[in-house]
Amino acid sequence: MLTVLKLLRSIWSNLNGDATPPACGAAVLIGCLLGLTPLGVQTVLLACLLLVFRVPVSLALVTCAGFKALDLLAVHQLAEGLGAWMLEEGAVTREAVVALAQLPVVGLVPFGTHQVTGGVALGLLVGLALAPAVAVGVNAYRRSLKERVTASTMYRRMEKLNRIFGGALKGGSFGGRLS
């Protein structure tokens, strides 16, 4: 529960903090990919991307959790069907997958598995659709709503809670260390 709270707090701080809108969009994209692909080498590679690039990790993890839940419920069948079609029916898609599989490091991903290929494709489609929307949304929030939210009573109460659970942070507003 504490972890969830910390994650949400971190997101909140990203929203109000210095994470750039494109970084937020990239975090959502990586989160989609993590959520829609099965566990494997691809998980490790995507986690390395999170570490290397300065994206809000908490936002990526929350996005991953959300899409993983959807994947477990119903989306994995869609991913498997999409992967089978891409590898067996689609000539252009198969060529693209083969080209990806021939790249060093990326080639470690088992693209021959339908669920992996379908998950990557679905993750890219959903992530690339959501990422710009998130970036625009963050920008719009910061231009219009941010001042109202940070001046509200609820925000001040959450800051007090942060001091109790998270300790004082430099820079004023609360948030995670890796934001």
Partner 1 sequence: MNPLRAVRWKLLAGLVVVGAAASWLGLPALLDRAISLWAEEELLSRASSGGVSLSLLSGRCTIEDLHIPDPQGGSEPLLAADRLEADLSLADLLRRRVVVEVLRVERPRATLVQDEEGRLNVEETRKEKARREGLDPREVARTARELYGKVEEGRDWVQGIRSFLAHLQAEERLGPERPAGRTPLTELGPRFVVRKLEISRLHVNLDGPSGAPGIRETAVAGQELSSDPARHDEHTGLRLQGLLGREQPAAFWLQARLEPRDGSLRTHLDRAELADLQASHLQPLLGATLPFNLDAGRVAVRATDGWIRTPDAMDVTATILVAGLKVSPKPGVASLGGFPADRLCRALSDAGTFELEVRLTGPPLAPRVDLGDFTERLMRMGAAAFRKEALRRLETRLGPDAVHLLEGGGPAVLPGVLTAEQPPGDEAPGLGKLLPSGDTNPLDLLRGGSENEQEAPAPLKLLERLRRPAGDPDSRPRDR
| Least spacing, CB of residue 101 vs partner 1, in Å | 6
Q: Which of 29, 34, 80, 82 binds partner 1 (CB under 8 A)?
A: 80
| Least spacing, CB of residue 122 vs partner 1, in Å | 15
Q: Does 112 bind partner 1 (CB under 8 A)?
A: yes
Which residue number, 51 or 125, has a Cβ lying nearer to partner 1? Answer: 51
Number of chain residues interacting with partner 1 (CB under 8 A):
25
Stretch that binds partner 1, among 2-10, 111-119, 132-140, 147-155 (CB under 8 A): 111-119
Give the torsion sign (CA, 50, 55, 61, 66).
Answer: negative
Q: Which of 87, 122, 130, 138 binds partner 1 (CB under 8 A)?
A: 87
The number of CA neighbours under 13 Å toward the Cβ of 123 is 32
Q: Which of 39, 73, 105, 168 binds partner 1 (CB under 8 A)?
A: 105
The residues in 120-179 that bind partner 1, with binding defined as CB under 8 A, are 177-179
Q: Tell me how far apart the alpha carbons of residues 98 and 84 are, in angstroms, rounded to a whole number.
A: 14
Q: Does 102 bind partner 1 (CB under 8 A)?
A: yes
Are the C-beta atoms of 149 and 155 separated by less than 8 Å?
A: yes
Q: Tell me how far apart the alpha carbons of residues 65 and 59 are, in angstroms, rounded to a whole number.
A: 10
Give the torsion sign (CA, 11, 14, 17, 21).
Answer: negative
Alpha carbon 103 to chain centroid distance?
Answer: 24
Q: Does 110 bind partner 1 (CB under 8 A)?
A: yes
Residue 24: closest CA among 11, 8, 37, 9: 11
Please give the residue ranges that form the binding site for partner 1 (CB under 8 A).
51-52, 54, 80, 84, 87-88, 97-98, 101-105, 107-108, 110-115, 177-179
